[in-house]
Chain A
Amino acid sequence: MSLSRLRNIVKCDVVKASASSALVSKLLGPCSEIVSTCTIQRRNVTQQNSKPDWNRAVSEAEKIVGYPTSFLSLRWVLSDEIANVALHLRKLVGSNHPLLKTAKNLIYNGKNNMQAWGLIVLLVSKAAGHSPEIPDMEQDKAAGVLYSQRALAEVTEMIRTSHLVHKGLVNMNSRQLTAAEPGDMMFGNKIALLSGDYLLANSCTELANLRNQELVELMSSAVRDLAEAEFLGERDEQNNPLPSRPVPEANWEPASEWDCILDPLPMSGVEGCLQREWVARHVLAAGALLGKSCSAALKLAGHNSELQTQGYLFGCHLALAWQAFLDLEAFTGPEPASFSLVGAPLAFTLQENPDLYTYIEAGRRSVHDVDYHALYRAVVEGAGIARTVALQRAHEAAARRLLERLPDGDARAALHNIIGAMRHDL
């Protein structure tokens, strides 16, 4: 290994201290200058609207299961492909390819960062314990989890990161694309696609090494769900999601039961009912992966299928509560320049007042064309925020009920703390 590469890794360590993800810090190694400026801005934002509760809950939880994830393993840092990506990413600095933003968000997006997902999988693993038949060799005694569960947590993060990176492609078929930088965009797409594929391929190998085919099937179905999520409902030209046109409650189609885990999520009764659309969207985009990972962790520990299903539901409810909490963030501080058009507060508001949909239609070409100020006023004046808070509480309560099925202990308490830390001052 070359010396310059070593130096690069050492340099990355500075970033790692805050990020604790070797992969992404290495991705960003060469462009740390843009990152550092962003950190300052970011810090200002976080000071305003995030409570230290969250950070404390997460860092205490991390101590319980040892280091947060196995992503830190050296083979990531030393991988040829990642070194290659870092090299190419340098060429993109200065362009505005969204891959840079994706990479940055992976590290600094406080509450939505990826290692939190692996952390939850490990906490569930520790909280549930494992069957006495599992040989000592396969246990990480100090942390109270199995090595296979740690590998699974890593797979969860790789799948999620891969999906976020693939989501960050630019659609070059769009008419609005400025002709100035097709080269940069094409190159950025290439790197984004390959990096995502690299993570996906590694998660395949890692899963195969667990030698549990039911688990491979379950986790592969989570990858499928993530892909499906990107097709749900209306989209602008860059595939940013838009809500569907609200239909009055009297005309809603009956919703189908969602008791499937391996089958794809049924879509009947979803379109036009914005609450259901919100749930379907975020179950596919987040709940499925977190739920299936929790379920898989319990499977690895030798728990029965009933508890595995509870694990799936816990992951889904936690992901939905989390999403509702993130959706509320835009409405806690000063009015933001833009916010998610498929967030729960706006979904409730649109359902109440379908005339507002004309504002959404203005964004068919690009979500940037939407009059966010008008929609913001409508949300703040309506019941959307209060109903989203209630929605978050409902999912939190469901998640807590499921947690009570697990024996009392430090890991379970840490999960309760994390749920409790999802609070805004409203």
Chain B
Amino acid sequence: MACLSSSRLCARVQNKLLCQFGHKVRRQTVFVKLKPPGPSPLRIFGKTCQRVTTCGPACGTGVYTTSATRRLASSLQSTSTGSLPDYGTQIVDPYRLLEDDLNGIYEDIRTELEKNTNQSELNTIATYYFDGQGKALRPMVAILMARAVNYHVYGENSALLPSQRQVAMISEMIHSASLIHDDVIDQSDFRRGKPSVNVLWNHKKVAMAGDFILAVASMMIARLRSDEVTLVLSQVVTDLVQGEFMQLGSKETENERFAHYLTKTYRKTASLIANSVKAVALLSGADASTCEVAFQYGRNLGLSFQLVDDLLDFVSSAQAMGKPTAADLKLGLATAPVLFACEKYPELNPMIMRRFQEAGDVEKAYELVHKSRGLEQTRFLARKHGAEATRLAAELGDSPYQKALVVTTDLVLNRIK
């Protein structure tokens, strides 16, 4: 309860600040050469922001700054091209940096699942989403953080622990298990550019396949033999379900709505990333404050990721996403762009309350969001969390992995799918 009310407070402050700052963002789009969105003295995101950092990341700041500024010009337009900016040689693509670690991660997950069943149909359904077509964001971030923290604690000669790679696999498995259950709940048709599980198989079996993946993931967690890691990762599962429950009801008032949305977003998306990077930090043997840095990095990255996701639901094409767009509206969900748009167009309020169920609601809301500054404000909020993640990453010792953590926040902000 305490956490909820504090975040509620946060959201109110955010709302105010955003109104103030929204203006500034717009100016930045016009004057491209303005100061890039570096870490700001605003201390409303995350608990650990005690220090006010005035400089950007310790290394590669120059390249980062110019590319970030260049990108800023285009990223505020609703159809961002999103191709990876030219980082030069100093900044590494995290996926390339971790190529060896990530190589075969889906195969390993499939092997683990296969080992745990003698029912071929269960194996088919359970491994369906582990086809290597996903972004593997969660495993990537987990391994990246593992290597960055290992480097931070043990220096240059540190290696990735097998247990940390296991956590990377587990994070993707928990994610997929929740996707599978989401598919049954939402009756979606497509995911990742192919028919979703609920279209192809018996829903009862699909639900069981989700339970199965979770059970196998729990067994893998238990085999790490760390009480702390098990506690941290079991929290993820609880958060996911509670987030799902929050999505079910919309009893909250207009004032509470944004806080409700942020808490839901944390539980449904950010908790998994935050707690899995915390778990790898724990396994590394890092001290409590480093684990907290890792956790807050993951939390901010996760929030920024989901905000961008909610934004893309309005601006991206169905083809690029591999799933239908305006899907959230069709499901009756009011995400950040709608909640922001609501300030300018109060006629959205009744639509939100009836979950866009009347004929024409979805189209009307879609149009109003585009007419308002909702998309811009959402992007701004996403960028704030990204900047906070960048600031936190800078607290870790300088290493290629630590730099890649910074690049990852950019990747998340500028993705097109």
Q: In the complex, what distance in Å separates the CA atom of A261 from the CA atom of B198?
A: 31
Residue of B nearest to A284 (CB): B119
**Which residues from A are CB-within-8-Å of B226?**
213
Residue of B nearest to A182 (CB): B187
* A193 CB, nearest partner CB in chain B, Å: 6
Task: Select A207's contact among B187, B201, B223, B234, beta carbons within 8 Å.
Answer: B234
For A36, the chain B residues whose CB sits under 8 A away are: none
Beyond A81-B245, A227-B122, A235-B202, whether A216 also contacts B218 by CB under 8 A is yes
Give every chain A residue within 8 A of B211 (Cβ-Cβ).
Answer: 162-163, 166, 196, 200, 223, 226-227
B216 contacts the other chain (Cβ, under 8 Å)?
yes
Asked if A166 and B207 sit within 8 Å, CB to CB, the answer is: yes
The answer to whether residues A230 and B205 also contact, given A81-B245, A207-B234, A224-B116 and a CB cut-off of 8 A, is yes
Inside 8 A of A214's CB, which chain B residues have their CB?
222
Restricting to A116-136, which residues have a CB under 8 Å from any CB of B? none
Nearest A residue to B124 by beta-carbon distance?
A: A231
Contact A213 B248 (CB under 8 A): no
Contact of A265 among B118, B198, B241 (CB under 8 A): B118
Measured between beta carbons, the chain A residues less than 8 angstroms from B238 are 201-202, 204-205
Q: Give the CA-CA distance A134 to B224 in the complex, in Å.
A: 25
B176-220: CB near A (< 8 Å → 1, else 0) gives: 000001001101000000000011011111011101101110110
Whether A193 and B207, one on each chain, are in contact in the complex, defined by CB atoms closer than 8 angstroms, is yes
Contact A211 B227 (CB under 8 A): yes
Q: Does A167 contact B (CB under 8 A)?
A: yes
Q: A189-B184, A201-B240, A238-B204 are in contact. Are A221 and B219 (CB under 8 A)?
A: yes
Query: In angstroms, how far is the closest chain A Cβ from the Cβ of B299?
Result: 19
When the two chains form their complex, are residues B215 and A194 in contact, meaning their CB atoms are under 8 A apart? no
Contact between chains at A173 and B230 (CB < 8 Å): no
Q: Does B235 contact A (CB under 8 A)?
A: yes
Smallest beta-carbon distance A281→chain B, Å = 12
B contact face: mostly helix, strand, loop, or mixed: helix
- Name A167's closest neighbour in chain B (CB-CB): B204
Q: Which of B198, B202, B203, B230 contacts A213 (CB 8 A)?
A: B230
Are the C-beta atoms of A224 and B231 separated by less than 8 Å? no
For B125, give the chain A residue with the smallest CB separation.
Answer: A231
- Taking a contact as CB atoms under 8 Å apart, the answer to whether B215 and A224 are in contact is yes
Indicate whether B117 reaches chain A with its CB closer than 8 angstroms. yes
Expressed in whole angstroms, the Cα–Cα distance for A230 and B211 within the complex equals 11
Contact A204 B237 (CB under 8 A): yes
* Interface flag for A253 (CB, 8 Å): no
The chain A residue sitting closest to B239, CB to CB, is A201
Shortest C-beta distance, B161 to chain A (Å), equals: 17
Give the one of A186, A230, A262 with max B CB within 10 A: A230
Instruction: Among A166, A216, A226, A264, point to the contact of B116 (Cβ < 8 A).
Output: A264
Contact mask for chain B residues 114-128; partner A; CB cutoff 8 A; 1 contact, 0 none: 011111011000000
> Does residue A415 face the partner (Cβ distance < 8 Å to B)?
no
Please name the residue on chain B nearest to A235 by beta carbon: B202
Q: Are B222 and A213 in contact (CB under 8 A)?
A: yes
Residue of B nearest to A205 (CB): B234
- Do the beta carbons of A216 and B230 come within 8 Å of each other? yes
Q: In the complex, which of the residues B199, B201, B203, B212 contacts A228, with contact meaning CB atoms closer than 8 Å?
A: B212
Of A167, A213, A227, A238, which one neighbours B224 at CB under 8 angstroms? A213
A394 in the interface (beta carbon within 8 A) = no
Q: Does A239 contact B (CB under 8 A)?
A: yes
A163 to B211, CA, bound (A): 9
Q: Is B244 an interface residue (CB 8 A)?
A: yes
What separation, in Å, do the CA atoms of A190 and B231 have in the docked complex?
27
Contacting residues, chain B, for A170 (C-beta < 8 A): 203-204
B121 touches A194 (CB 8 A): no
* Residues A228 and B122 in contact in the complex (CB < 8 Å), given A166-B211, A170-B203, A217-B219: yes
Are B209 and A198 in contact (CB-based, < 8 A)?
no
CA distance A186 to B183 in the complex (A): 12
Cα of A173 to Cα of B223 in the assembled complex, Å: 37
How near does chain B come to A261, taking the closest CB pair, in angstroms? 12
**Contact between A198 and B241 (Cβ–Cβ < 8 Å)?**
yes
Q: Is A49 an interface residue (CB 8 A)?
A: no
Cα–Cα distance between A202 and B184 once the two chains are bound (Å) = 21
Q: For residue A182, give the distance in angstroms from its CB to the closest CB of chain B.
A: 9
Chain A 238-254 interface residues, beta-carbon cutoff 8 Å to B: 238-239
Known contacts A214-B222, A216-B221: does B214 contact A223 (CB below 8 Å)?
A: yes
Are B244 and A264 interface neighbours, CB within 8 A? no
Taking the closest CB of chain B, its distance from the CB of A371, in whole angstroms, is 24
* A84 with B245, Cβ < 8 A, contacts A169-B203, A267-B119 known: yes
A237 at the A/B interface (Cβ < 8 Å)? yes
Residue of A nearest to B209 (CB): A227
A231 x B121 contact (CB < 8 A):
yes
CB pair B221 A194 closer than 8 Å = no
Chain A residues near B233 (CB-CB < 8 A): 208
A172 within 8 A of B: yes
B135 at the interface (CB under 8 A from A): no
Residue of A nearest to B221 (CB): A216
Q: Given A197-B244, A237-B202, answer yes or no on A208-B234 (Cβ-Cβ < 8 Å).
A: yes
Q: Map CB proximity to B onto A209-225 as digits: 1 under 8 Å, 0 otherwise.
A: 10101101100110110
- Per-residue contact bits, chain B 229-257, to A (CB 8 Å; 1 contact, 0 not): 01101110110111011001100000000
| Contact (Cβ within 8 A) B185 A190 | yes
Complex contact A88–B118 (CB within 8 A)? no
Contacts of B115 in A (CB 8 A): 264
Q: Which of A166-193 contact B (CB under 8 A)?
A: 166-167, 169-174, 186, 189-190, 193
Q: Chain B: residues with CB nearer than 8 A to chain A?
A: 115-119, 121-122, 181, 184-185, 187, 198-199, 201-205, 207-209, 211-212, 214-216, 218-219, 221-227, 230-231, 233-235, 237-238, 240-242, 244-245, 248-249
Interface, chain A (partner B; CB < 8 A): 80-81, 84, 87-88, 162-163, 166-167, 169-174, 186, 189-190, 193-194, 196-198, 200-202, 204-205, 207-209, 211, 213-214, 216-217, 220-221, 223-224, 226-228, 230-232, 235, 237-239, 262, 264-267
Could you list 10 A-B pairs, sorted by A, with CB under 8 Å? A81-B245, A200-B237, A202-B238, A209-B231, A213-B223, A214-B222, A220-B216, A227-B122, A231-B208, A264-B115
Additional A-B contacts beyond A189-B184, A221-B215, A231-B119 (19; CB < 8 A):
A173-B202, A173-B203, A189-B203, A193-B184, A196-B211, A200-B214, A201-B234, A201-B238, A205-B234, A208-B230, A216-B218, A220-B218, A220-B222, A224-B219, A227-B215, A228-B119, A228-B122, A231-B205, A238-B204
Closest 3 CB pairs of A and B: A220-B218, A217-B222, A227-B212
